[in-house]
Structure formats: C-alpha cells, structure tokens
C-alpha cells in the first residue's frame, strides 16, 4: 500500500491483496477524480461512478446503531464503576510505533497495515511514514510515555473506543475498519502494576461487562506466555524443533522460523497445522516467578467464580505480550469466534523508550460483540413515544410548540404536517413505530387539552396540556 497527501487530503493507493481485488484509492474524496484502470470498471452506462463503501468497510445504520449505543452506554457506566477514565488517541500514528510494539514479524505489521508516506508540506516539516492504527494499546502507551502519566505514581486505568484498521480478508466478523472497546491498566511497579491482582481484576471486569451487556455462553481461554527470558528459551526450542520440518511449511513460516519463531504459531495454512500441533508448548518454558504469577491469577479467578479453561496454544498475534494472555470467545460468531483478546505487556513501555511501566489490558471487537448479541436475538429498537399530528390550516406552529414542550420534558417526539389527512398521520405514526399519537387541532389548542391515542391498544383519552408529558412518560 502506498500513499500521499495531496491538496491537504490524505490518500492511499490500496494495491490489492489478490488479483481479484480491485485497486482502490481510499481515504479520500480525491479518489473520485483519480482514474485508475481498475476503478474505471465501476463506471456505469452514463459514465457516472456508483460509489460504494470500500471493501471491508461498512455503514452502521439504525436500528443496529441503537444496539451499538446501548452497549457503549452500559460499558461506559461499568468503566466508571471500576474507576477507568477515557483517553482518546489519534487515528493515525508514526508507523514505527506499531512496528516496534506489535512487532515486525506479526501478520498485522507485515501484511495488514494501511500505511502511507506523508510528504512534508513545508520546509519545517519532515516527511514521515504514517499508519492508520491497527490497534489501540500502542497508541495508549505512547500517550502514557509522552505525557509522563507515570510521574503521578498511581495506576492509570484508561479506556477508549473507536475504529481500528487492518487490511485483512473481509468475512463475517472480520472487517478492514472495525471498532474496539479497549481498556488498559498501566503504572509504575510501585503502584502495583505488576501484581497478579491486576490481571484478575481485569478478567473479572470483562466477565461482568459481558454479563451486563447480556452476552450468554461466553468462554474465557487463558494462558501465560512468560517473560522476556522465557521467550528466549522458548524461541530457541521452537527453532530446534522447526529445523528438520520447516522446509515443508509455507514461506511465512520459513521466514519466521529464523526471525521470530513464536509467530509460526499464528500460521493459518491448513497443511502446516499438523507440524505446529507437535511443536513444544510455552508452558514448559516458564520460570518460577512466571509460574507463581499465573497460579495466583487462577486462584483469584476461582475465588470470584469466573470460569476459564487453559489454552496452552494461545500466544496471541502481537509481540508485546508477557505472562497472562486471554481471549473470550462466543459460539454465535462462526470462524471469527474471539469477541475480545488481551493480556499483560510488562516490557512494552521500555521497547518504546519509556520508563518501566508494566500493564495489562484487553480490546473487545465491538462489531463481533454486536454480532454475538444479535445471534441471541438481541435488538434495541427505541420506540419514539409521541407522534404529534397537526390538523388543518396553521397548526404547524402549535405542533412544533407542543413537541418542543414534550421534548424538553424528556419525551421523544416526531411531528407530522398540517397538510396530512388524519388517516395519513396515523399511518405514518404507526410506520415510524410511535407509541402514541397526539392530535393538535384548533379545538384542542383552544381548550388546552389534546386527544392522545395509544397506537397499540387503540385507547384514546383527553389529556390537559400541563399533564401531557407526565401522561406519556408514565404510560406503558
């Protein structure tokens, strides 16, 4: 993927993963004026472009967005109870941030990032390589270091929500723009950031979060990937085990067996799986402090009754992890079953030239959480309470005034138009999902009371203006 910044607009040229992929100019309206051989295929008979959402991206529309908002509101409420506070980091960062934290040999950095060369616009600026964030932990850690949040001497409990970008092969639950709800606890060791209590607290919080948003049947898979020293011994063991067989494996595995053998375990090529199954497991290479840490995490999870199973194969696809790693999965998701993933990253700050600042966190794939909830039949269609229907000449201002009063009292309301016949007002109120229709005619305005009809039961009553909001709010 290559890119540029022209006329103040960021544009990247997506070179396509495979032959059948179209070459696309994305991220910019200037893609419309840019004609490439590939996107000219999009032209219709009358030579106008039919613009559609770019492959792997999608529009989130009502009523689905009602469910998204309900989930986000519940999650914000939960974070407040665990004393987490929001951080918002930029959507693009210096490319090096991701190569130095997530790791050069990971799928994310080696294949999936949207990266472009950003040319300098003035002599005072430097050209630099920029990347749309593929995940949020690196950006949060950069901000922690840049703003010296560790100087406070306390734990920083931070959360963020927003879009992430990975150039993966799109399928159900896997998109090129997707949304994460991310939470991190970072701090100096003197504040308790290394304690296994943090790991257990984070896992207990996730379990409560999933229960509170109404997800049933989630499963927690847990592992420990040890510390940096364990990793050196484990990588050597993998190298030794791979030596006699690696020539039978895919090109990525052959390269990774040399550069970063741990990443061989991320391989998805079906023919390589029998070899990967027989490789040594990381649990055999943990030193005593790492074993004790993991045992303490498990004891605390047992104490609070959070169920889990150990998955010794789960090393997660990002290089920064140390010790505890985890994924929560859900059966309603098909192949992309991980609703969220996370773990501890005790050396991440130092790898970005920051102070010692151990941390642990997770990111929920919000698209997948919503899919999992929908697979259980969850919807969140918020019905508008009142449809205010003006009748006859000059009633629009009265309807607007009444709707204003109701809305200010906390009642949701739509307004019709005086030109509609009563029958049409009823039709539109029902189509729009209103619970009540309120008729605004000359007589009603003069008398100061309105005809209110419950559209489900058909019951109609006269309600004085001053009592209308309370009546609509109280009615079931």
For residue 298, the minimal CB distance to ligand HAM (Å) is 19
Residue listed under structure tokens 């290479």: 285
Between the alpha carbon of residue 29 and those of residues 12, 92, 165, 398, the distances in Å are 11, 18, 18, 43
343 binds ligand HAM (CB under 6 A): yes
Tell me which of 150, 354, 358, 361 binds ligand HAM, using CB under 6 A.
361
115 binds ligand HAM (CB under 6 A): no
347: contact with ligand HAM by CB under 6 A:
no
266 lines the binding site for ligand HAM (CB under 6 A): no
Residue with Cβ nearer ligand HAM (110 or 254): 110
85 Cβ contact list (under 8 Å, min separation 6): 79, 157, 158, 159
Angle, vertex CA 345, rays to CA 341 and CA 349, nearest 5: 135
Q: Interface residues for ligand HAM in 116-155 (CB under 6 A)?
A: 135-137
CA atoms of 179 and 337, how far apart (whole Å): 16
Give the per-residue contact string, 15-54, with ligand HAM (x = CB under 6 A; - = no).
Answer: ----------------------------------------
Of residues 289-308, which lie at the interface with ligand HAM (CB under 6 A)?
Answer: none
Least Cβ distance, residue 301 to ligand HAM (angstroms): 18
> To the nearest whole angstrom, how small is the minimum distance from the Cβ of residue 338 to ligand HAM?
4
The C-alpha atoms of residue 456 and residue 198 are separated, in whole angstroms, by 50
Give the residue with the Cβ less far from ligand HAM, 139 or 188: 139
Q: Are 434 and 386 in contact (CB under 8 A)?
A: yes
Q: CB burial class (10 A; 0-12, 13-18, 19+) of residue 268?
A: exposed
Report the residue number whose CB is nearest to ligand HAM.
Answer: 365
Q: Which of 159, 178, 218, 450 binds ligand HAM (CB under 6 A)?
A: 178
Q: Can you tell me whether residue 285 is helix, strand or coil?
A: helix
For ligand HAM, give the closer residue by CB, 28 or 137.
137
By C-beta, is 71 or 340 nearer to ligand HAM?
A: 340
Q: Is 332 in the site for ligand HAM (CB under 6 A)?
A: no
Is 376 in contact with 333 (CB distance < 8 Å)?
A: no
Return the SS3 of 152. helix
Q: Does 365 bind ligand HAM (CB under 6 A)?
A: yes
Strands (E), 173-264: 177-186, 219-224
* Minimum distance of ligand HAM from residue 156's CB (angstroms): 13
Q: Which stretch binds ligand HAM (CB under 6 A): 26-34, 62-70, 277-285, 356-364?
A: 356-364
Residues 44, 59: Cα–Cα separation, whole Å: 23
Q: Which is nearer to ligand HAM, 362 or 436 (CB)?
A: 362
Q: CA 163 to CA 181: how far, in whole Å?
A: 9
If you compute the radius of gyration of the chain from its CA atoms, what whole number of angstroms results? 28
Number of other CB atoms surrounding residue 473 within 10 Å = 12
Question: Can you tell me which of 133, 166, 256, 298 binds ligand HAM, judged by CB under 6 A?
Answer: 166
Q: Where does 394-442 show beta strands of DSSP type E?
A: 413-415, 436-440
Based on the shown chain and the rule CB under 6 A, indicate whether residue 342 belongs to the binding site for ligand HAM: yes
Q: Which residue, among 346, 340, 327, 342, has the nearest Cα to 372 in the 3D structure? A: 340
CA angle 249, 251, 254 (to 5 degrees): 65
Cβ proximity of 187 and 193 under 8 Å:
yes
- Which position among 174, 233, 239, 356 is part of the footprint of ligand HAM (CB under 6 A)? 174
**In this complex, which beta carbon is closest to ligand HAM, that of residue 31 or of residue 106?**
106
Q: Does 402 bind ligand HAM (CB under 6 A)?
A: no
Total of residues contacting ligand HAM (CB under 6 A):
26
Q: Which helix (H) or strand (E) holds 44?
A: none
Q: Which of residues 56-75 bind ligand HAM (CB under 6 A)?
A: none
In whole angstroms, the minimum distance from the beta carbon of 335 to ligand HAM comes to 12
| Residues at the interface with ligand HAM (CB under 6 A) | 135-137, 166, 168, 173-175, 178, 180, 182, 184, 317-318, 338-343, 361-363, 365, 367-368
């Amino acid at each position: 993927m290559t890119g540029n910044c022209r006329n103040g607009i960021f544009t990247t040229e997506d070179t396509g993963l495979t032959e059948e992929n179209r070459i696309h100019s994305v991220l910019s309206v200037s893609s419309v004026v840019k004609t490439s051989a590939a996107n000219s295929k999009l032209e219709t008979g009358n030579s106008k472009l039919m613009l559609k959402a770019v492959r792997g991206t999608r529009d989130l529309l009502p009523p689905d967005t009602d469910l998204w908002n309900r989930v986000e509101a519940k999650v914000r409420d939960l974070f407040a109870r665990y004393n987490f506070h929001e951080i918002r980091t930029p959507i693009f960062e210096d490319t090096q941030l991701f190569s130095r934290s997530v790791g050069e040999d990971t799928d994310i950095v080696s294949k999936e990032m949207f990266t472009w060369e950003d040319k300098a616009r003035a002599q005072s600026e430097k050209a630099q390589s920029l990347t749309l964030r593929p995940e949020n932990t690196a950006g949060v850690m950069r901000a922690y270091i840049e703003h010296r949040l560790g100087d406070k001497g306390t734990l920083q409990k931070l959360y963020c929500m927003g879009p992430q970008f990975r150039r993966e092969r799109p399928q159900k639950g896997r998109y090129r723009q997707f949304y994460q709800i991310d939470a991190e606890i970072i701090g100096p060791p003197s504040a308790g950031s290394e304690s296994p209590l943090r790991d257990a607290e984070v896992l207990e919080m996730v379990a409560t979060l999933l229960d509170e948003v109404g997800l049933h049947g989630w499963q927690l898979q847990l592992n420990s990937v040890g510390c940096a020293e364990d990793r050196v011994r484990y990588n050597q063991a993998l190298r030794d085990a791979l030596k006699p067989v690696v020539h039978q494996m895919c090109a990525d595995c052959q390269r990774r067996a040399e550069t970063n053998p741990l990443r061989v375990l991320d391989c998805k090529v079906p023919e390589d799986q029998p070899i990967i199954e027989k490789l040594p497991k990381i649990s055999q290479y943990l030193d005593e402090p790492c074993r004790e840490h993991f045992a303490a995490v498990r004891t605390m999870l047992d104490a609070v009754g959070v169920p889990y199973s150990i998955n010794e194969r789960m090393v997660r696809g990002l290089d920064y992890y140390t010790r505890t790693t985890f994924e929560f999965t859900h059966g309603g998701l098909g192949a992309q079953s991980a609703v969220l993933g996370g773990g501890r990253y005790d050396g991440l700050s130092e790898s970005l030239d920051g102070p010692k600042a151990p941390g642990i966190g997770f990111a929920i794939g919000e698209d997948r959480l919503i899919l999992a909830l929908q697979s259980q039949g969850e919807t969140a269609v918020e019905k508008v309470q009142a449809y205010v229907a003006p009748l006859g000449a000059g009633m629009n201002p009265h309807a607007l005034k009444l709707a204003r009063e109701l809305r200010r009292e906390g009642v949701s309301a739509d307004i019709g138009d005086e030109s509609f016949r009563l029958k049409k007002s009823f039709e539109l109120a029902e189509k729009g999902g209103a619970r009540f229709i309120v008729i605004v005619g000359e007589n009603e305005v003069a008398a100061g009371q309105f005809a209110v009809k419950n559209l489900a039961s058909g019951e109609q009553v006269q309600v004085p203006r001053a009592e209308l909001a309370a009546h609509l709010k109280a009615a079931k």
